[in-house]
Structure 1
Amino acid sequence: MRNPFDMEDLDSAIEQETQDPFKDIHTHQSHDGPRSLLQQTEDCQGDNLKDRFIGAIDTGTTSSRFIIFDCTGVPVAKYQIEFRQIHEHPGWHEQDPFELVESVYTCIEEAMKTFLALGHSRDDIETIGITSQRETTVCWDWETGEPLHNAIAWPDTRTTGLVREFKAKKGADDLLGLCGIPLSTYPSSVTLVWMLRNLPEVKQAYDEGRLAFGTPDAWLLYNLNGGPDGARLVTDVSNASRTQFMNLETLDYDDRLLNFFGIDRNKIRLPEILPSADPEGYGWVRGGPLDGTPITSCLGDQSSALVGHCAFTPGSAKNTYGTGCFLLYNVGEKPVISQHGLLGTVGFQLGKHRKPVYALEGSVAVAGSGISFLMNNMGFFRDSRKVSDLAASVPDSGGCVFVTAFSGLFAPYWIDDAQGTIFGITQHTQRGHIARATMEAACYQTKAILDAMEMDSGHKLSELAVDGGMSNSDICMQTQADIIQIPVERPAMHETTALGAAIAAGFAIDIWRDFSDLKTMNRANRTTFLPHTSPVQSKKLYRQWSKAVEMSRGWLDTNSQDEEEETENGANGA
């Protein structure tokens, strides 16, 4: 493995505020093992929560960050760095697995410099939690620790043809009831099959029993624990539920699911599935300034945001506006299989002796990445934070509707053959109209998801908690409130995803023992956006959006594309 403290310049991408990476990083020596959790907890009994600290690793789709929180939920030190997005072909989206690890070590190094400069000690950090992008698929050699290919990221759509193949297979209709996720390019299952069929090095490792598979959390934990030397392969229930291999009821891999995809569990190393909070199962950091610090939580990023919003009671919901847009609705301690195009998933399980909490989820493929498209592809602006200013330069979208189906459309539509389509362009259309329509696309899809959740649950939300980069835009959040006709609540401290990982890590070592201990967490100075548009006008605009969605179908003629590829391959072979 390359030295995790050797960083190169990374390409620009969109997320929340970003700092330049520090380039002269020094390697730190390891010591023998983890500090005792029991000793830490006993030493800190009675201490003020402001004097107790938890670190949170947050690796999203475009960047990593490390944030140190005090136990009142206030961030005291932070560092963030972006990593490259690799797009070798249309619809392909990959990442360098080593860059994911390197970015995390760099963020820890730099955040710790700030923390120590404030007069704290490294031993003041009692534990670390991890949250990461989900569904992204990583395959590596278990014996050497070397990745066998780039990570294939969750927005990647190269598996569209495979999805059609599996949908026609006997037993396809049974999947949803077992794992809660419909067949699409989204979960890790079909991506793994594509890698086995198309990458000889992955297939060879599989046949020889050397293939390790995991989502980014498992890959990061494997490396943080020393790679081949630590030999730790673990994940949590929230991440495992996104692979399409885990049974929602048993919280374990299901042979019916594995067999459907042709995966022989005797040939592949699958991560052990643990609760989201566990005092021992996730090991400890080996190397760097936090060498020996225990890792006591692991969550998928959207589940972590649900915890960060303290959405512990059934009926609570949050929406994260990051690269994509993800709305999770707490349905309680029994899974709900959606009848209206949503995903059934595990929200979190904060300890072995606690029941899992399930959620309904609606996923929008394009949110912040739509802004990135305008910035990087269309040259609208150089700074993503200026999108609100550009959108505010016009009173509305001028009749322009942008169906941002760059990767098809996710919940509740599940339209694989849609492509990005702009309707309503006239000579009057300006850049501000396009910017506004891009933001509105995420808001309209959120409305569609909320409608589906209401039908599945039988209850209408009274308010929506929000976080993520686009939620910092007042005009976007006001638009969201106008479209869904309920209040939108934005916390003042917007690092909700990382906070969720910290909260879960604290539960693992009994910093908090009950959800009621967190009733004031991140509640101060919230901004509430109330609907300003009339219900009649809101319905009119939503009907226009729905019409545009229907018109975007079929732009990607996958059958014709497959025929053209076969003809071309045949000609080349001749």
Structure 2
Amino acid sequence: MEADKKGLDTAGHSQDKEVVKKTASGTSTPKEMRAHSGEQKESDSEGFTSGQEKRLKKWFIGSIDQGTTSSRFLIFDGTGNPVASHSHEFQQMYRKSGWHEHDPQEIVDSVATCIEEATKQFVAMGHDVSDIQAIGITNQRETTLVWDWETGEPLHNAIAWPDTRTMGLVRELRGLEGADDLTELCGLPLSTYPSSVKLVWLLRNVEKVKQAYDDGRLAFGTIDTWLLYHLNGKEKRTFVTDSTNASRTMFMNLHNIKYDDKLLKFFGLDRNKLHLPKIVPSSCPDSYGSIGFGPLKGVRVTGCLGDQSAALVGQQGFTPGSAKNTYGTGCFLLYNVGEKPVISKHGLLATVAYDFGRQRKPVYALEGSIAVAGSGVKFIMNNFGFITHSHKISDLAATVEDNGGVVFVTAFSGLFAPYWIDDAKGTIFGITQHTQRGHIARATLEATCFQTKAILDAMEKDSGHKLSELAVDGGMSNSDLCMQTQANIIDIPVNRPAMRETTALGAAIAAGFAVDIWKEFDELKQINQKDRTVFNPDISEKESTKMFRRWSRAVEMCRGWERDEEQEDP
């Protein structure tokens, strides 16, 4: 989703010119702070010294941010500020209900275009390409690609992470012996979400994929692997993935960061027939190769993170107990649990948060994944025609005082964490003759906020700790109305940075660590901390609880809409 009505500049900074008071000092509780909603606060640190800043502004890092609907390339200086960027949208394919695909070559081309255009900006500013020390990659996760190992040609469109064609397959797999043991090994439950079931579907339904597998020519990868394979040049055979992306496939053992034969066997896969990318740390000077063509030819790629892990790094979520929520096409909340994985008992995922190598242990996170966030806004824009641009959602929602009793369960791909309801469909409850477009717009924003509340409740149960503040980023976080609603529903402050390119920044940080721009996490504490905005709850806890209770009732009512015909027959 784009910026709210106050607008964003090209670097993601708020252009709001209102004068706002600083947050009150002290240790006010959320209840005491309700009168201070939407205020800005400075970083607690004094910032970089003049010497540090001068040195760091001479170092530049490129960041490829390959998302669900667009690709981008940004160039950051060593203080974490973006100095050049370019974005390019690509086609979304919905060939059947529940299907969501991308053209693999279009993804590579879109990234190449972004690199070329952003580099032009960079050079026009008086910089030299040689000033760029390294490049990081961050990418949409779980999206599954298959190609011919010998020719490098894709054998099918990429199946995107929200795709639900595997719903029947998932039900079948859940009935197999050993299905209940998978989560303990890989941290993920069986659902339409991970890469594993998408690959199994391709093997069962696409003949040339099955033939390549039988011939030992089938290469499998997520978006990071596909990009690295092509950006390096196919002749170089750079075929790797980082541990954050590998942890989303259901093929990797979360405890030892290696492919697990038990997991592969469960999905009927023979590793002698399937080419799996080598798993390497997220920050590494040697494993990812270098750009093989274009204006940045020869520049090393030294960092790689799945997009949600990158956002946690970009928000400096380096200590256990820190958390961030990214409001993009979907919405993803990560909670740092430290150097040992925590297997959720309440519907969350366990995943690798980041792995910076050099004798450091991998760091893990609990994750709550929401399939529909910004894509819900685009739905009411493209399918209902309520608004002409996605950033107008806040204006429309502000035309009414509340949701008017409307609840929108945006289960276009079923419901992800913590519910994992595959057979739900998008459902709007509470429509009357009083209902206006503004009520539906507000209910669309609230749907993401309610699901975030459900995830936070599950995280509190798993971790035994209640979060004191939620760091946010991503397109929908640009909406003041949405973030105030979020604070009200979760009843804790919501903390938003002025520079919201935290996902791309996280990839840049991983790349910078590998080439010693930074060596310790403490060196990053000043990055992107100035002029953050804090939204504090401004409704009563009783009112918040009532709103969430109505949402929970709607979720229960939307169960079971999508079922096999044989299940519906009497």
TM norm structure 1: 0.90
Paired AA for residue 312 in structure 2 = L
Q: Is residue 562 of structure 2 the alignment partner of residue 556 of structure 1?
A: yes
**Alpha-carbon distance, 1:561 to partner:** 7.7
Paired AA for residue 437 in structure 1 = A
Q: Is residue 125 of structure 2 the alignment partner of residue 118 of structure 1?
A: yes
**Aligned partner (choices 299, 306, 311) of residue 305 of structure 1:** 311
Query: Following the alignment from structure 2 to structure 1, what is the Cα–Cα distance between the partners of residues 293 and 513?
Result: 25
**Aligned partner (choices 76, 83, 91) of residue 84 of structure 1:** 91
Q: Which SS does the other structure have where 1:500 is aligned? A: helix
Q: Is residue 446 of structure 2 the alignment partner of residue 445 of structure 1?
A: no
In structure 2, the CA distance between the partners of 1:418 and 1:145, relative to structure 1 (3 Å rule), is same
Query: Following the alignment from structure 1 to structure 2, what is the Cα–Cα distance between the partners of residues 45 and 442?
Result: 40
Say if 2:2 and 2:478, in contact at 8 Å, map to a contact too.
no
Query: Following the alignment from structure 2 to structure 1, what is the Cα–Cα distance between the partners of residues 565 and 246?
Result: 32
In structure 2, the CA distance between the partners of 1:46 and 1:303, relative to structure 1 (3 Å rule), is closer
Matching of residues 309-328 of structure 1 within 5 Å: 309-328=315-334
**Alpha-carbon distance, 1:559 to partner:** 4.5
**Aligned partner (choices 490, 497, 502) of residue 491 of structure 1:** 497
Paired AA for residue 339 in structure 1 = K
1:231 matched residue in structure 2: 237
Query: Following the alignment from structure 1 to structure 2, what is the Cα–Cα distance between the partners of residues 353 and 15?
Result: 40
**Alpha-carbon distance, 1:51 to partner:** 1.3
Say if 2:470 and 2:493, in contact at 8 Å, map to a contact too.
yes
1:543 matched residue in structure 2: 549
In structure 2, the CA distance between the partners of 1:470 and 1:183, relative to structure 1 (3 Å rule), is same
2:189 matched residue in structure 1: 182
Deviation digits for residues 350-391 of structure 1 (CA, Å, limit 9, x no counterpart): 124110000000000100000010011111111111001001
Query: Following the alignment from structure 2 to structure 1, what is the Cα–Cα distance between the partners of residues 171 and 312?
Result: 32
Q: Is residue 474 of structure 2 the alignment partner of residue 459 of structure 1?
A: no
1:292 matched residue in structure 2: 298
Query: Following the alignment from structure 1 to structure 2, what is the Cα–Cα distance between the partners of residues 126 and 502?
Result: 10
Q: Is residue 286 of structure 2 the alignment partner of residue 269 of structure 1?
A: no
Say if 2:146 and 2:155, in contact at 8 Å, map to a contact too.
yes
Query: Following the alignment from structure 2 to structure 1, what is the Cα–Cα distance between the partners of residues 187 and 334?
Result: 14
**Aligned partner (choices 155, 164, 168) of residue 175 of structure 2:** 168
Matching of residues 127-166 of structure 1 within 5 Å: 127-166=134-173
Q: Which SS does the other structure have where 2:176 is aligned? A: coil
Matching of residues 316-355 of structure 1 within 5 Å: 316-355=322-361
2:36 matched residue in structure 1: none
**Aligned partner (choices 416, 426, 429) of residue 432 of structure 2:** 426
Matching of residues 19-58 of structure 1 within 5 Å: 48-58=55-65
2:201 matched residue in structure 1: 194
In structure 2, the CA distance between the partners of 1:82 and 1:562, relative to structure 1 (3 Å rule), is farther
Query: Following the alignment from structure 2 to structure 1, what is the Cα–Cα distance between the partners of residues 517 and 58?
Result: 12
Say if 2:136 and 2:303, in contact at 8 Å, map to a contact too.
yes
In structure 2, the CA distance between the partners of 1:46 and 1:459, relative to structure 1 (3 Å rule), is closer
In structure 2, the CA distance between the partners of 1:300 and 1:186, relative to structure 1 (3 Å rule), is same
2:26 matched residue in structure 1: none
2:250 matched residue in structure 1: 244
1:501 matched residue in structure 2: 507
Q: Is residue 417 of structure 2 the alignment partner of residue 411 of structure 1?
A: yes
Paired AA for residue 112 in structure 2 = Y
Q: Which SS does the other structure have where 1:173 is aligned? A: helix
**Alpha-carbon distance, 1:511 to partner:** 1.1
**Alpha-carbon distance, 1:18 to partner:** 11
2:40 matched residue in structure 1: none
- Unmatched runs of 5 consecutive residues or more in structure 2: 11-50
**Alpha-carbon distance, 1:536 to partner:** 0.4
Q: Which SS does the other structure have where 2:396 is aligned? A: helix
Say if 1:15 and 1:63, in contact at 8 Å, map to a contact too.
no
Paired AA for residue 387 in structure 1 = I
Runs of 4+ in 1 over 4 A off after TM superposition: 14-19, 44-47, 561-564
Query: Following the alignment from structure 1 to structure 2, what is the Cα–Cα distance between the partners of residues 269 and 492?
Result: 43
1:62 matched residue in structure 2: 69
Q: Is residue 260 of structure 2 the alignment partner of residue 254 of structure 1?
A: yes
Query: Following the alignment from structure 2 to structure 1, what is the Cα–Cα distance between the partners of residues 52 and 344?
Result: 44
Query: Following the alignment from structure 1 to structure 2, what is the Cα–Cα distance between the partners of residues 285 and 318?
Result: 31
Q: Which SS does the other structure have where 1:86 is aligned? A: coil
Deviation digits for residues 488-525 of structure 1 (CA, Å, limit 9, x no counterpart): 00000000000000001011111111110011110001
Q: Which SS does the other structure have where 1:48 is aligned? A: helix
1:373 matched residue in structure 2: 379
Q: Which SS does the other structure have where 1:434 is aligned? A: helix
Paired AA for residue 354 in structure 2 = F
Say if 1:417 and 1:558, in contact at 8 Å, map to a contact too.
no
Paired AA for residue 309 in structure 2 = S
Say if 2:53 and 2:79, in contact at 8 Å, map to a contact too.
no
Say if 1:180 and 1:337, in contact at 8 Å, map to a contact too.
yes
In structure 2, the CA distance between the partners of 1:185 and 1:563, relative to structure 1 (3 Å rule), is farther
TM norm structure 2: 0.91
**Aligned partner (choices 94, 102, 113) of residue 109 of structure 2:** 102
Query: Following the alignment from structure 1 to structure 2, what is the Cα–Cα distance between the partners of residues 529 and 18?
Result: 21
Deviation digits for residues 108-155 of structure 1 (CA, Å, limit 9, x no counterpart): 010011100100000000000000000000000111111000000000
Query: Following the alignment from structure 2 to structure 1, what is the Cα–Cα distance between the partners of residues 356 and 523?
Result: 14
In structure 2, the CA distance between the partners of 1:15 and 1:291, relative to structure 1 (3 Å rule), is farther
Paired AA for residue 281 in structure 1 = S
Q: Number of aligned pairs?
A: 526
Query: Following the alignment from structure 2 to structure 1, what is the Cα–Cα distance between the partners of residues 214 and 567?
Result: 31
Say if 1:15 and 1:322, in contact at 8 Å, map to a contact too.
no
Greater length-normalized contact order (CA 8 Å, ≥ 6 residues apart)? 2
Matching of residues 524-535 of structure 1 within 5 Å: 524-535=530-541
Say if 1:308 and 1:496, in contact at 8 Å, map to a contact too.
yes
In structure 2, the CA distance between the partners of 1:352 and 1:165, relative to structure 1 (3 Å rule), is farther
Say if 1:466 and 1:488, in contact at 8 Å, map to a contact too.
yes
Over the aligned positions, Cα root-mean-square deviation in angstroms equals 1.6
Query: Following the alignment from structure 1 to structure 2, what is the Cα–Cα distance between the partners of residues 413 and 310?
Result: 28
In structure 2, the CA distance between the partners of 1:561 and 1:470, relative to structure 1 (3 Å rule), is farther
Say if 2:59 and 2:133, in contact at 8 Å, map to a contact too.
yes
Q: Which SS does the other structure have where 2:172 is aligned? A: helix
2:397 matched residue in structure 1: 391
Q: Which SS does the other structure have where 1:213 is aligned? A: strand
**Alpha-carbon distance, 1:441 to partner:** 0.2
Paired AA for residue 558 in structure 2 = S
Paired AA for residue 229 in structure 2 = Y
**Alpha-carbon distance, 1:15 to partner:** 5.9
1:35 matched residue in structure 2: none
Say if 1:59 and 1:132, in contact at 8 Å, map to a contact too.
yes
**Alpha-carbon distance, 1:557 to partner:** 1.7
Say if 1:211 and 1:268, in contact at 8 Å, map to a contact too.
yes
Give the percent of matched residue pairs that are identical in Structure 1 and Structure 2.
69
Q: Which SS does the other structure have where 1:136 is aligned? A: coil
Q: Which SS does the other structure have where 2:459 is aligned? A: helix
In structure 2, the CA distance between the partners of 1:76 and 1:563, relative to structure 1 (3 Å rule), is farther
Say if 1:408 and 1:418, in contact at 8 Å, map to a contact too.
yes
In structure 2, the CA distance between the partners of 1:266 and 1:563, relative to structure 1 (3 Å rule), is farther
**Alpha-carbon distance, 1:46 to partner:** 11
Paired AA for residue 299 in structure 2 = T
**Aligned partner (choices 497, 510, 516) of residue 510 of structure 1:** 516
Deviation digits for residues 525-553 of structure 1 (CA, Å, limit 9, x no counterpart): 10000000100000000000000000000
Say if 1:303 and 1:347, in contact at 8 Å, map to a contact too.
yes
Say if 1:18 and 1:81, in contact at 8 Å, map to a contact too.
no
Query: Following the alignment from structure 1 to structure 2, what is the Cα–Cα distance between the partners of residues 201 and 493?
Result: 45
Query: Following the alignment from structure 2 to structure 1, what is the Cα–Cα distance between the partners of residues 529 and 157?
Result: 40
Q: Which SS does the other structure have where 1:456 is aligned? A: helix
Say if 1:366 and 1:442, in contact at 8 Å, map to a contact too.
yes
Q: Which SS does the other structure have where 2:181 is aligned? A: helix
Query: Following the alignment from structure 1 to structure 2, what is the Cα–Cα distance between the partners of residues 405 and 129?
Result: 33
Query: Following the alignment from structure 1 to structure 2, what is the Cα–Cα distance between the partners of residues 293 and 129?
Result: 11
